[in-house]
Amino acid sequence: EAQLVQSGAEVKKPGESLKISCKGSGYNFTNYWIGWVRQMPGKGLEWMGIIYPDDSDTRYSPSFQGQATISADKSISTAYLQWSSLKASDTAMYYCARLDRDGYKSIHSFDYWGQGTLVTVSS
Amino acid sequence: DIVVTQSPDSLAVSLGERATINCKSSQSVLYSANKNNYLAWYQQKPGQPPKLLIYWASTRESGVPDRFSGSGSGTDFTLTISSLQAEDVAVYYCQQYYSTPLTFGGGTKVEIK
C-alpha cells in the first residue's frame, strides 16, 4: 500500500529558510502527482501546488506562487516544500498528498496523505 | 479559478439521524468527454490528516462505510451521512479537481446534538 512519510515538526525564526520533505513508498513515486496542502491553525485546507516527479512539471496556486517552492527528487522518492525567508504567517500544518490517476499525468483526488509537518515561525 | 462553497459551516445532528452537507462550484466540474464530475469529499478528524471518502462525486473510496454517499452533478453536490455515528464527528471538505488550482470548500463541522 502507498505511504507518505513527512519530516518532523520545525520551529524557526522569521527570515530563516526551511525545507520539509515527503517520502513516498509502496508505489511508483515517479508516475503520480504529489501535492502540498496548507492548514493554518483552526482553519481549512488550502491547495498550494503539485509536482509530477518524473519530469518535475510543477503547478502552483496563484496564492502561493513565489511564496514557497515545490521540488522532487525521484531517485529517492521524495518531494519537498521550501521557503527562503519564512514569515510568521507561514505558521501552519503542511500536508503532502498523492493525486490518484487513471492515465499519464491525469489529475484526480488526493488518495493518500502524509501525517503532516507542523511549521512554527516565531521570534 | 473555480470557487467552491460549502454549506452550512457547521451542523449538529442526533445519533442515527441524517446529516447533509452541500457543496457548490462556481463553474461546472462535469467533464463532457467522460461524463465524470471532478469532485471529491474528504473527512478530517481532530489531529489527523484528511481522508478521502468520495471521488467522482459519488464513488465511495474503498473501506468507506456505505452510510456515506455523494450525489449531484455540474455545480451542485451533496454529501449525505445516512445515520450519524459518534465516529463521524469531523470536518468535511469538498474539493474540485477539474482544473488547477485545485480548490477546497471551506469545510463543514459535524457534531452530535
Identify the CA nearest to A113 among candidates A32, A61, A48, A35.
A35
A109 touches chain B (CB under 8 A): yes
Residues of B in contact with A108 (CB under 8 A): 38, 40, 55, 97
φ/ψ of residue A31, rounded to 5: -105, 15
A105: confidence class by pLDDT, cuts 50, 70, 90: confident
Query: Which amino acid type is present at position B24?
Result: K
Average pLDDT score, chain B: 97
**pLDDT for the residue A110:** 96
DSSP letter at B107? -
**pLDDT for the residue A87:** 97
A108 touches chain B (CB under 8 A): yes
DSSP letter at B100? S
Query: Could you give the CA distance from residue B25 to residue B40 in angstroms, rounded to a whole number?
Result: 12
CA atoms within 13 A on the CB side of A90: 27
In chain B, % of residues over pLDDT 90: 100
**pLDDT for the residue A115:** 98
CA distance A54 to chain B (A): 19
Give burial (CB, 10 Å; 0-12/13-18/19+) of B57: buried
Residue with cell 469545510: B107
Query: Could you give the CA distance from residue A91 to residue B101 in angstroms, rounded to a whole number?
Result: 22
Cα dihedral B48, B52, B57, B61, rounded to 10, equals -140
Contact between B50 and A45 using a beta-carbon 8 Å cutoff: yes
Identify the CA nearest to B43 among candidates A25, A100, A81, A109.
A109
What average pLDDT does the segment B80-100 reach?
97
User: Considering only CB atoms, which residues of chain B are within 8 Å of chain A?
Assistant: 1, 38, 40, 42, 44, 49-52, 55, 61, 91, 93, 95, 97, 100-107
- Closest residue on chain B to A108 (Cα): B97
**pLDDT for the residue A101:** 83
**pLDDT for the residue A102:** 79
Say which of A109, A113, A116 has its CB closest to residue B97: A109
List A residues 37-56 in contact with B (Cβ-Cβ < 8 A).
37, 44-47, 49-50
- In this structure, of A92-96, A100-104, B29-33, B93-97, the range with the lowest mean pLDDT score is A100-104
Report pLDDT digits (tens) over B31-68: 999 999 999 999 999 999 999 999 999 999 999 999 99
Report pLDDT digits (tens) over A55-93: 999 999 999 999 999 999 999 999 999 999 999 999 999
**pLDDT for the residue A62:** 95
A54: confidence class by pLDDT, cuts 50, 70, 90: very high
